Amino acid sequence: MRLILYIVMAALLSSSSVALSRDKIDNGTVTDTESPYFRLAGEADTAIAKGEYSLAESKLLEALRLEPGNPSNVLMMSNLGLVRFYMGRDDEALQTLNDACAAAPSSTTVLSNRARVLMSMGRPDEARADFARVLAVDSTLVTPRFYHGILSLRAGDIVTASADFKRLEQADPKSFETNFAMATLNTALGDNLAAIPYFNRLIEIDPQAEYYAARALCNLQLDRLNEASEDISKGLELDSKDGELYLYRAMLNKMRFRPEDADADARKAMQHGIPRERVKPFLLK
């Protein structure tokens, strides 16, 4: 149970930093050519899209200096915080987002951006609190609901996570977020059989080695050895350096009474980052 939950959570948290989104500033009836402020905002957005973060930062700062009283400055500051985060200046990024939140404490955009930065910085409790604030403003938002549930589950709050995920499933049962959430919840509860249909849909939506690995472990724990073998093979086709998959193949080989093959796979798992204490049960010596 814990191994599957680790795999699924790692898949989510490893991608959280790249999932951050910037906000385009809506200039209403004023075109970029008529307003230097919005021209700078557009130039900053273009620079962000190209990964030119230093240029984007300078454009955003110039716009903020140009019109310090513009109501759109909150979103400018939000984008500035993300740009600084992309540049690896985490503390400065967080302070910028704190300032934006202070200026607009009910902005779901700013709160969501700060929450996801906090999550990527390894501060899940603070991130969870921000997502809760977002949902207090607008309970219909799907992505904050998803992250709030995932972080609640990580914190051991099964009741809150279950409530969040139930609302996701009611809103959109076919979405990636829903199926990721329900797969994670069921593995956390130890219900491997219930988790498998959600992993099936996840793999249909976005076939990744870690999802094959998670489903393989479910199948191993259900003694579905042929299905587990197929999952491991498909996962390794996608990522031949996934240590978890070699570990599960070692487990599979031991269950099939192939100790030499289990030993070989356990050693491959160690070569790809799996700690010795996890592979020790499959080593011959």
What confidence category does residue 3 fall into, taking pLDDT thresholds of 50, 70 and 90?
low
DSSP assignment letter at 272:
T
Closest among 125, 97, 122 to 111, alpha carbons compared: 97
* Encoded tokens for 65: 């200096």
What are the tens digits of pLDDT across the range 156-167? 999 999 999 999
Convert the pLDDT of each residue in 75-134 to its tens digit.
999 999 999 999 999 999 999 999 999 999 999 999 999 999 999 899 999 999 999 999
Q: Tens of pLDDT along 181-194?
A: 999 999 989 999 99
> In 3D, which of 238, 186, 196, 194 has the Cα closest to residue 217?
196
**Cβ-contact 139, 161 below 8 angstroms:** no
- Residue 57's CB is within 10 A of a number of other CB atoms, namely 20
d(CA 231, CA 180): 17
Q: What is the per-residue pLDDT for 24?
A: 59
Confidence class for position 285, pLDDT limits 50, 70, 90: confident
Res 29: pLDDT: 39
Confidence of residue 35 (pLDDT cuts 50, 70, 90): confident
CA gap 248, 252 in Å, rounded: 6
- Whether the Cβ atoms of residue 192 and residue 173 lie closer than 8 Å to each other: no
pLDDT over 90 at 15, yes or no: no
% of the chain with per-residue pLDDT over 90: 82
Cα distance between the two ends of the chain = 27
Q: What is the mean pLDDT of residues 217-235?
A: 97
Summarize the confidence of residues 37-62 as an average pLDDT.
Answer: 93
Q: Own/partner pairs for 8-11, CB < 8 Å, 24+ apart?
A: 8/180, 8/183, 8/184, 8/187, 8/210, 8/211, 8/214, 9/150, 9/154, 9/184, 10/210, 11/208, 11/210, 11/211
Q: Which residues contact 118 (CB under 8 A, 6 or more apart)?
A: 94, 124, 126, 127, 130
Task: Name the more confident of 33 and 255.
Answer: 255
Per-residue confidence (pLDDT) for residue 275, from 0 to 100: 94
* Predicted pLDDT at 25: 53
pLDDT band with cut points at 50, 70 and 90 for residue 215: very high
